[in-house]
């Protein structure tokens, strides 16, 4: 849920990068962080667990405009990929405004993609939310793998109705990284406009 900072005249939004372990969530955030001008971003924070890390940073986008005279500030988070960190995943989802689901293109990761998306749905239920209610997009990462699964196969497993926008990416090379973020950010702002 967005929060308003009246003294700074900012509306703050929370975007969470969700997906199976090693799908590229962290790489996405690092590449975005590297590209955002220093004056438009906060510090990147990493909360390390034994086997995984959660990254967070905020940035003030320059091209998404203002809402009723307020600047928009987006706070980006990643969740731990391993299932045994589910309580951390739930905590990070609290107050979420939008989700970028990062799927892995490797053939042996198709099941992990499906399980992670199912887990996302379950964890959103804890906050009485569903993917039908919050803005989200799917980024299919690692498209440069020699044996990358066809996009249509991944789409059929994750969202057969094709109601969500899919983006192909190679996060390591900064290809297809900003597009899903820009898309989900616009969806978040459109949702806010509908409720005000």
- Tell which phi-psi region holds residue 144, choosing left (phi > 0), alpha (psi between -120 and 50) or beta: alpha
Residue 132 confidence (pLDDT): 92
The answer to whether 85 touches 52, Cβ cutoff 8 Å, is yes
pLDDT in tens, 39-98: 888 888 877 656 555 656 666 565 566 778 888 889 999 888 776 678 888 988 999 999
CB-CB contact of 77 with 14 (8 Å)? yes
Single pTM value for the model: 0.92
In the chain, the domains with their CATH numbers are: 3-195 (3.40.50.300)
Cβ neighbours of residue 195 under 8 Å, at least 6 residues apart? none
Strands 45-48 and 53-59: antiparallel
To which residue do tokens 């906050």 refer? Answer: 127
Entry field: residues in the chain: 196
């Amino acid at each position: 849920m967005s929060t308003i900072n009246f003294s700074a005249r900012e509306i703050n939004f929370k975007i969470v990068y969700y997906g199976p372990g090693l799908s590229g969530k962290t790489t996405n955030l690092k590449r975005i962080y590297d590209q955002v001008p220093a004056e438009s971003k906060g510090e990147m924070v990493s909360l390390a667990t034994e086997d995984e890390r959660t990254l967070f940073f905020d940035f003030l986008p320059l091209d998404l405009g203002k809402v009723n005279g307020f600047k928009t500030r987006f706070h980006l988070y990643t969740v731990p990929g391993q299932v045994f960190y589910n309580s951390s995943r739930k905590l990070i989802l609290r107050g979420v405004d939008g989700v970028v689901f990062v799927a892995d293109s490797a053939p042996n990761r198709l099941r992990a993609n499906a399980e992670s998306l199912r887990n996302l749905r379950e964890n959103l239920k804890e906050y009485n939310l569903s993917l039908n209610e919050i803005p989200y997009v799917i980024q299919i990462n690692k498209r440069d793998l020699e044996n990358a699964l066809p996009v249509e196969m991944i789409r059929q497993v994750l969202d057969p109705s094709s109601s969500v926008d899919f983006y192909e990416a190679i996060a390591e090379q900064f290809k297809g990284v900003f597009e899903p973020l820009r898309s989900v950010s616009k969806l978040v702002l459109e949702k806010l406009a509908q409720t005000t």
